[in-house]
């Protein structure tokens, strides 16, 4: 049966014609006065549409639209919002770099809003905040992702508390996305060879303020049912469908940008899922610009950025070689390298032919700029991937860190936003890069801040009761059971929230380790405590699902039934209530397995205090004035012992510090010390863990240098790319012939503070000149195990050369006391190298 399709659009009065433009730009979502235009238009339609402005315009009656087109009050707000929107799009911004070339940002998921269900959790929400902040700062960023016809699963619990999943089918024609059309008004489509199929993908656009996110969709009639299912669900369909999605994202994403006429010269891979983009970038340079593989690599490598997000080994995507061969071998034929040479890019240890192909390894080797997402995670990442850079000291491994941040305008509650707008002034909105403005939090009186927080806690309790009622009704329970929802929680009690993905290492059950002690905490009549849990386990994670079940069963104990609840289907909407209405944000990962975490940042900006293990962002944020630390950063091999120790530490914190502080009130019934911590938490988080700071870091450390590199390596018919490729070919062929023959020094015994001595070395240069290598002294204090700590580097100067042997020297000053040591090493040197740490090329004494 052939079906002809057509689309029905809402008929918006001319006086309100810009509502459609506002509905299709997610700027509306992070500006509450803009969102409020739609709420005022028809609140019931707003709720029924799941806060989707595009869909709700189709639900509003024509009578209501005409009525509001003649409402002076509404029109005044409408004109004011639209003028603000136009000013935002057109005014100057923080970014002062080149804008004719685009930075392409690739991510498997984007958590932009509840109305766009193409995310599963923290990685996606971080991607969404990254896109919004790039727009705020004027950074020319184009996002690339996939459009999932059924998104990520919706969670519900069965009568026994065990997680079940359902995947709803979404109508993308009623969502804030638009088809990309060519000049003939036909949908833009690109083709990608995926295995034995030529798959077509349609391109959709999401407007994110000044920038756009482009989504690829294979669910079109031209494809086979199997190929249409590639973009059916996020992280669904098994391992083979995963690699198919990643080929589409990486290779198809580059082709989509080309089809749209976007000159994306720098690419940023947010996690390794999009690492195959490097293959397509190399292919284009080789096939269309006639470069060799080595030359093309020197264009791609210095313009690639890679952000790794997980220290959990299983979270770093890898595939068996036969699967990689099935989907990538025909692409590799166009690169001018052998299959084995390609496989070495995806293997941490290229000499082991039995290791799988890892996308993190591929991304690291294709990117000059790599980073973890917190200071601690940067350290962990350098340790995890040190085998790629054999013999390079761990602290020098070229994986930097840029700590995550969150987008304030998205995550501040409307009540908090109004309060900050009032005291921060217009610069809070107009100058997102002005982080010092958060110091103005001290202008807000204790009374006003606490009153706004209590209002948010009341809203949370009302919302939680509504959700519980729906959950109970869904299970078909009796009226007596349903009525219990109205008694759950209290708007006046100390409220703890634990909301995140239910992976076992996050230890959602740490509070349940001593049930009797926990019950005593919850049921204390003088200082009552209540806890809200929320979060999803991966569909295949049975231990994670068992954790949820354990919490649900515990919550049914009559002693604590009103004091502990589990809210189903944790998403954007649930998160907004929890991060703004809770008093304590609880985080209990097993250190060091949380790369960063961002939910605690969102909570802190709303005045919610964090209680967390010193892991991820909290390891660098914590100070006693803004929250509490569980433990002191210890790590244990015995997980049971680890859990026991930290659960007791958590109970002690709650009993001896947190609960008494919350209920310590003066005559005015204000917890003054608690409010003081709230202010310090808001101030520090707003300044240091703000996504504006994060994007300014990315721009200064990576984006601007990478854009400069593109110009430098492509101008004059790729002259510099060809030159550095020739140099590195020389290095690869002859590096093994360089030799440190001898190292000696004068007067380096029984030294005193302030003395100095000279170190000499003789080097067999082979065919290299002194300008083509760096000879360095690597020195520092010696540890008890005989290793150099807190190492420093100093270049040695070539003082003589005879034939192929050169003599180098440098002087070291004794500016500290203690036991010191040094070694001499050689690394590549060329003015065109972004950094000299090329895997495999370092020679030690």
| Chain-centroid distance, C-alpha 330 | 32
Q: Is 236 helix (H, G, I), strand (E, B) or coil?
A: coil
Give dist(CA 588, CA 497) in Å, integer: 12
| pLDDT at residue number 52 | 95
The alpha carbon dihedral of 686, 687, 689, 694 has a sign of positive
| C-alpha separations of 30 from 58, 410, 412, 429 in Å | 22, 5, 9, 11
Per-residue confidence at 3, pLDDT binned at 50, 70, 90? Answer: low
Contacts of 579 (CB under 8 A, 6+ apart): 411, 497, 585, 599, 602, 603, 606, 608
Annotate 265-289 with three-state secondary structure.
Answer: EEEEEECHHHCCHHHHHHHHHHHHH
Residues belonging to the chain: 845
Read off the pTM.
0.96
CB atoms < 10 A from the CB of 142, how many?
24
Per-residue confidence at 315, pLDDT binned at 50, 70, 90? Answer: confident
| C-alpha separations of 34 from 27, 38, 39, 437 in Å | 8, 7, 9, 23
Residue 476, pLDDT > 90, answer no
Q: Tokens representing 424?
A: 């921060």
CB pairs under 8 A, 24+ apart, for 40-43?
Answer: 40/68, 40/74, 40/77, 41/65, 41/68, 41/74
Helices and strands of the chain, counted as H and E runs: 31, 28
CB distance 35 to 28 below 8 Å: yes
CB atoms < 10 A from the CB of 106, how many?
25
Helix (H) or strand (E) holding 660: helix 659-662
Residue 533, CB-side half-sphere exposure with 13 Å CA sphere: 26
Burial (CB count <10 Å: 0-12, 13-18, 19+), residue 484: middle
| pLDDT at residue number 785 | 85
Rounded mean pLDDT, 384-392: 95
| pLDDT at residue number 80 | 97
CB distance 403 to 620 below 8 Å: yes
Rounded mean pLDDT, 8-29: 92
CB distance 232 to 148 below 8 Å: yes
Per-residue confidence at 236, pLDDT binned at 50, 70, 90? Answer: confident
Angle at 47 between CA 469 and CA 461, to 5 degrees: 40
CB distance 247 to 190 below 8 Å: no
The alpha carbon dihedral of 386, 389, 390, 395 has a sign of negative
Q: Tokens representing 733?
A: 């062929």
Contacts of 599 (CB under 8 A, 6+ apart): 122, 499, 500, 575, 579, 585, 587
**Who wins on pLDDT, 843 or 476?**
843
Q: What would the pLDDT profile of 796-843 be if each residue is shown by its tens digit?
A: 999 999 999 999 999 999 888 888 999 999 999 999 999 999 999 999
| pLDDT at residue number 1 | 58
| pLDDT at residue number 57 | 95
| pLDDT at residue number 484 | 79
CB distance 524 to 489 below 8 Å: no
Rounded mean pLDDT, 547-556: 96
CB atoms < 10 A from the CB of 675, how many?
18
**Pairing verdict, β 627-630 and 609-613:** parallel
Rounded mean pLDDT, 258-265: 94
Give dist(CA 763, CA 776) in Å, integer: 12
The closest alpha carbon to 777, from 738, 821, 742, 713, belongs to 821
Q: What would the pLDDT profile of 153-194 be if each residue is shown by its tens digit?
A: 999 999 999 999 999 989 998 999 999 998 889 999 999 999
CB distance 572 to 152 below 8 Å: no
Give dist(CA 233, CA 540) in Å, integer: 14
Give dist(CA 402, CA 372) in Å, integer: 6
**Who wins on pLDDT, 481 or 229?**
229
Sheet architecture: strand order including 584-587: 564-567, 529-534, 494-499, 584-587, 609-613, 627-630
CB distance 646 to 629 below 8 Å: no
| pLDDT at residue number 4 | 64
Q: What would the pLDDT profile of 597-619 be if each residue is shown by its tens digit?
A: 999 999 999 999 999 999 999 99
Q: Tokens representing 18?
A: 């810009």
The closest alpha carbon to 82, from 136, 132, 15, belongs to 15
Q: What would the pLDDT profile of 680-702 be if each residue is shown by its tens digit?
A: 999 999 999 999 999 999 999 99
**pLDDT averaged over every residue in the chain:** 95
The alpha carbon dihedral of 511, 513, 519, 521 has a sign of negative
Residue whose structure tokens are 């313009």: 303
Annotate 718-730 with three-state secondary structure.
Answer: HHHHHHHHHHHHH
Residue 569, pLDDT > 80, answer yes
| pLDDT at residue number 491 | 96
Q: Tokens representing 179?
A: 């088809």
Percent of the chain with pLDDT over 70: 99
| C-alpha separations of 496 from 123, 348, 587, 648 in Å | 24, 42, 10, 17
Rounded mean pLDDT, 741-746: 90
| pLDDT at residue number 242 | 96
């Amino acid at each position: 049966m052939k079906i002809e399709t057509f689309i029905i659009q809402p008929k918006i009065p001319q006086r309100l014609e810009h509502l459609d433009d506002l509905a299709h730009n997610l700027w509306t979502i992070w500006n509450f006065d803009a969102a409020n235009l739609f709420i005022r238009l028809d609140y019931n339609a707003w709720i029924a549409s799941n806060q989707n402005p595009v869909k709700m315009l189709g639900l509003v009656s024509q009578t209501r639209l005409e009525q509001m087109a003649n409402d002076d009050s509404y029109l005044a707000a409408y004109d004011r919002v639209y003028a603000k929107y136009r000013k935002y799009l057109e005014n100057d911004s923080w970014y002062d770099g080149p804008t004719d070339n685009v930075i392409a940002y690739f991510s498997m998921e984007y958590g932009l809003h509840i109305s766009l269900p193409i995310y599963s959790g923290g990685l996606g929400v971080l991607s969404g905040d990254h896109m919004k902040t790039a727009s705020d700062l004027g950074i020319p960023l184009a996002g690339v992702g996939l459009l999932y016809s059924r998104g990520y699963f919706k969670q519900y619990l069965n009568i026994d508390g065990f997680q079940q999943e359902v995947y709803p089918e979404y109508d993308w024609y009623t969502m804030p996305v638009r088809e990309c059309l060519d000049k003939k008004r036909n949908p833009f489509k690109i083709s990608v060879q995926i295995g034995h199929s030529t798959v077509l993908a349609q391109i959709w656009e999401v407007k994110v303020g000044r920038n756009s996110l482009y989504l690829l969709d294979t669910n079109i009639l031209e494809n086979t049912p199997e190929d249409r299912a590639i973009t059916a669900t996020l992280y669904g369909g098994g391992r083979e469908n995963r690699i198919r999605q990643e080929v589409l994202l990486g290779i198809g994403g580059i082709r989509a940008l080309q089809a749209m006429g976007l000159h994306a010269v720098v690419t940023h891979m947010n996690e390794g899922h999009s690492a195959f983009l490097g293959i397509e970038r190399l292919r284009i340079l080789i096939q269309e610009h006639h470069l060799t593989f080595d030359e093309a690599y020197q264009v791609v490598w210095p313009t690639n950025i890679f952000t790794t997000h997980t220290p959990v080994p299983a979270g770093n995507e890898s595939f068996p070689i036969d699967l990689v061969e099935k989907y990538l071998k025909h692409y590799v034929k166009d690169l001018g390298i052998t299959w084995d040479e390609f496989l070495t890019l995806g293997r941490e240890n290229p000499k082991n032919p039995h290791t799988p192909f890892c996308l993190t390894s591929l991304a690291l080797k294709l990117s000059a700029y790599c980073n973890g997402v917190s200071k601690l995670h940067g350290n962990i990442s350098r340790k995890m991937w040190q085998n790629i850079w054999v013999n390079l000291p761990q602290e020098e491994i070229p994986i930097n860190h840029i700590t995550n941040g969150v987008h304030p305008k998205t995550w501040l509650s409307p009540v908090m936003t109004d309060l900050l707008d009032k005291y921060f002034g217009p610069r809070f909105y107009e100058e997102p890069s002005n982080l010092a403005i958060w110091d103005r939090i001290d202008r807000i009186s204790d009374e006003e801040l606490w009153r706004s927080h209590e209002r948010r806690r009341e809203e949370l309790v009302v919302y939680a009761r509504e959700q519980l009622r729906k959950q109970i009704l869904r299970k078909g329970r009796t009226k007596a059971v349903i009525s219990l929802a109205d008694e759950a929680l209290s708007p006046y009690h100390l409220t703890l929230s634990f909301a995140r993905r239910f992976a076992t290492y996050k230890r959602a059950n740490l509070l349940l380790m001593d049930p009797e002690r926990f019950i005593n905490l919850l049921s204390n009549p003088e200082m009552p405590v209540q806890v809200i849990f929320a979060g999803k386990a991966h569909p295949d994670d049975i231990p994670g699902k068992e954790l949820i079940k354990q919490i649900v069963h515990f919550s049914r104990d009559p002693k604590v039934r009103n004091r502990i609840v589990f809210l189903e289907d944790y998403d954007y909407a649930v998160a907004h209530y929890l991060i703004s209405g809770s008093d304590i944000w609880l985080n209990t990962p097993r250190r060091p397995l949380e790369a960063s975490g961002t939910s605690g940042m969102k909570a802190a900006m709303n005045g919610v205090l964090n209680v967390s293990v010193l892991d991820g962002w909290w390891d660098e944020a914590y100070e006693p004035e803004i929250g509490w630390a569980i433990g002191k950063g210890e790590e244990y091999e015995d997980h049971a012992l680890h859990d026991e120790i930290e659960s007791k530490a958590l109970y002690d914190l709650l009993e001896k510090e947190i609960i008494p502080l919350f209920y310590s009130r003066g005559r005015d019934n204000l917890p003054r010390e608690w409010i003081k911590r709230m202010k310090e938490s808001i101030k520090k988080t707003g300044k240091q863990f703000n996504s504006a700071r994060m994007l300014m870091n990315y721009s200064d450390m990576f984006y601007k240098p990478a854009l400069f590199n593109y110009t430098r390596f492509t101008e004059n018919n790729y002259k510099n790319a060809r030159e550095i490729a020739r140099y590195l070919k020389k290095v690869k062929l002859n590096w093994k012939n360089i030799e440190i023959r001898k190292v000696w020094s004068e007067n380096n015994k029984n030294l005193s503070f302030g003395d100095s001595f000279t170190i000499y070395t003789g080097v067999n240069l082979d065919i290299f000149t002194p300008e083509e290598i760096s000879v360095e002294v690597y020195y520092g204090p010696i540890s008890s195990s005989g290793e150099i700590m807190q190492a420093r580097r100093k270049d040695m100067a070539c003082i003589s050369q005879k034939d192929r042997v050169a003599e180098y020297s440098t002087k070291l000053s004794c500016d500290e006391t203690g036991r010191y040591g040094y070694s001499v090493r050689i690394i590549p040197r060329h003015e065109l190298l972004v950094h000299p740490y090329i895997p495999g090329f370092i020679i030690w004494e």
